[in-house]
Structure 1
Amino acid sequence: MHTHQWQKSSYSGEGNACLYVSAPDSATIRLRESDEPDTILTTTPTTLAALIHSTKAGRLDHLGTA
């Protein structure tokens, strides 16, 4: 199994719910959560940037409501 260089998000703080990021090359970003380290989301920088932009703009707020 290939090991990745993981970096903890500076927004994660000291709690248990920490986000880790790995960028093995310029076209790939991997994300994992500290409670489920074997579950890895793989995306591209462009797609991740669009997700972050949409989240900050509030376009995904309706997804958290029942």
Structure 2
Amino acid sequence: MSTYQWRKSSYSGDAGNCVNVAIAWRKSSYSADAGNCVNVAAHGNGIALRESDDPDVILSTTRASLRAFIRGAKDGAFDRIQEGGA
């Protein structure tokens, strides 16, 4: 399921003749029906991520970096961080 959010271009300034861009957010299939969902969207040449509880905070990354992060998480690369190790 996609939801669209319109954002004003940062180049538009305060004038009334603004450029708006629609971002199609998709909820992660791992989020189930809970209110605390991860949303993703294709954004330019990269990926935008946000938490549904705080939708104004948006992280941007490249597809390759997100792919590497997900692979690392699946392989347990970050398990020691959670355990307090380095």
TM-score under structure 1 normalisation?
A: 0.89
Give the fraction of aligned pairs with identical amino acids, expressed as a percent. Answer: 42
Structure 1: gaps spanning 5 or more residues: none
How far apart are residue 17 of structure 1 and its match? 1.2
From 20, 29, 33, the counterpart of 1:14: 33
* Bigger strand share: 2
Runs of at least 4 residues off by over 6 Å: none
Is it true that 1:41 corresponds to 2:50 in the alignment?
no
Tell me the distance in 1 between the aligned counterparts of 2:71 and 2:32: 22
Structure-2 residue corresponding to 1:60: 78
In angstroms, what is the RMSD of aligned CA positions?
1.1
Give, in angstroms, the shift of residue 24 of structure 1: 2.4
CA deviations 1:12-49 (Å, max 9, x no partner) are: 10001101001023x21000000110111100000000
| Alignment-derived partner of residue 46 in structure 2 | 28
Q: Over alpha carbons, which structure has the higher Rg?
A: 2
Q: Which has the higher contact order (CA 8 A, sep 6+)?
A: 1
Structure 2 residue runs without a partner (length 5+) = 1-7, 9-20
Q: Distance in 2 between matches of 1:3 and 1:39?
A: 16
